Amino acid sequence: MSINSEMRSYSLQRKIKIRTESGATREEWDAGRIIMVTVKKTNDLLHTQSIRYNESTHTGLTRCKYIKPYVNRLKKTDTGEIYEIISATNDGRFNNLLLKKVDTDV
């Protein structure tokens, strides 16, 4: 299967700081534009010396080049799954992402 046939739509959200009435700042996620991303689960049996890879639960490929780690996150448009972006490598045609799935059932 090709990468293009496995791409699904995700909302690229951006972290913004908002000043409240009391003067304190809080962080919120601004719903950004819709991008196409291929997301795959990482191999649990693979042990590397990379802390970021060992921390990640999924990897992603996209053509979107302006993604920044810990500033952006992905939200799947149909199921609402949220992935925090740990690393983004802009080498070549695709942007390689290391993702960590966020548990929203707290």
What is the percent of the chain where pLDDT is above 90?
58
The rounded radius of gyration (Å) of the Cα atoms in the chain is 15
Write phi, then psi, for 52 (nearest 5 degrees). Answer: -65, -40
pTM, to two decimals:
0.84
Write out the DSSP string of 75-88: EETTT--EEEEEEE
With a cut of 60, say whether residue 70 has pLDDT above it: yes
Joined tokens for residue 5? 């046939």
> Which residue's entry shows tokens 């689960």?
41
CA distance 35 to 12: 7
As a 3-state breakdown, the chain gives helix, strand, coil percent values, each rounded to 5, of: 10, 50, 45
Q: Are 83 and 15 in contact (CB under 8 A)?
A: no
Question: Mind listing the pLDDT tens digit for each residue in 2-38?
Answer: 788 889 999 999 999 999 899 899 999 998 899 999 9
Q: Distance from CA of residue 10 to its chain's centroid?
A: 9
